[in-house]
Amino acid sequence: MSDTAASKASVLELKPEGLYCAAGDFYIDPWRPVARAVITHAHADHARPGMQHYLVSNAGMPLYRARLGHGASLQGINYGETITLGNAKVSLHPAGHVLGSAQVRVETTDGVWVASGDYKLGFDPTCSPFEPVRCDTFITESTFGLPVFRWQSTTEIWAEIINWWQGNADAGRASVLYCYSLGKAQRVLAGMTTDIGPIISHGAVAKLNEAYAEAGVALPVTQMVSDAPDKAGLRRALVLAPPGAAGSSWLKRFEPYTDAFASGWMAVRGMRRRRGCDTGFVLSDHADWSELLTAIKASGAERVLVTHGYVDELVHHLRDIGLVADGLATEFGAEEDSAVSLVAA
């Protein structure tokens, strides 16, 4: 870090409520109620209820309404649009994580910081792709911040899912795919076809599919189980369900079925065993190791703060390659973000 950068005060600081900008008097993804919150994306660990006012991306507005309710005070801005909050200039930029996800750029007299939220660089037709934002300090997640995590292309995973589904349908078994209801389910759906059989969405998935449709994202038509065809038709179905539906009475109507889980954690053999599914597809809405390093380099940041995930491991690597890096303790991680011990796995 340059002497000038080192002498400046922090643009953002941690408080009990979350990551705070004193110059603008707002928080980014706060985990306790505050007056003004700037939100990176609509996952529950980042967009929490109870804030007096939310600043969000217009691209994700349907999701925020679905997640926070129509009574929430939501202000939307376009990607790249700059607004002034107090003595800070704030803009949102695509993060490529899920629909409407954003990196938050904050500029004050003390410099430019970017809080990237959750992000990925891989192909996803359901949201705007990640765009590098130059800054002095870059705050990055590290959910999959180990070299072992390297993703296949989205199109390869789509082909694997379709082949699995086709094989199950030919054997007279429904295909139940567990995937997070916001982001992952829609990314899977974008690569599917209804030529094999019907696609059934769990209610939690269907609600968010509607929000994606409202935002103009084209997805194959899915059905609710109540509108589904007869038993023979269900045996050719692809069923998209959140992980919490596993073992539920809702799933019994699809028996016999084969199940699978779509997650970056499926790269870890032990996690596949723990999930107890027949199959695992390695598909994540978070950056893998190489994407993390690419994004950090593209930011041009002199300092990197690492949060939620394999923090120590990524910090150590960044220091080894000459960057100023430190960990940043946050309360994020309620979706796919729970780091596991690869030794135990």
| Per-residue pLDDT reduced to its tens digit, 94-150 | 999 999 999 999 999 999 999 999 999 999 999 999 999 999 999 999 999 999 999
d(CA 56, CA 76): 5
Q: What Cα–Cα distance (Å) separates residue 181 from each residue in 22, 96, 174, 232?
A: 35, 17, 19, 26
Q: Does the domain at residues 3-149+286-327 carry the CATH identifier 3.60.15.10?
A: yes
CATH of domain 154-281: 3.40.50
- Residue 340 pLDDT more than 80? no
Supply the DSSP symbol for 70. Answer: T
Closest-CA residue to 279 (of 289, 288, 269)? 269
- Residue 240 pLDDT more than 50? yes
- Residue 14 pLDDT more than 70? yes
Q: ω before 198 within 30° of 0 (cis)?
A: no
In the chain, pLDDT over 70 holds for what percent of residues?
93
pLDDT at 270: 73
* pTM for this predicted structure: 0.93
What is the residue extent of each domain of the chain?
Answer: 3-149+286-327, 154-281
- Residue 236 pLDDT more than 80? yes
d(CA 329, CA 240): 34
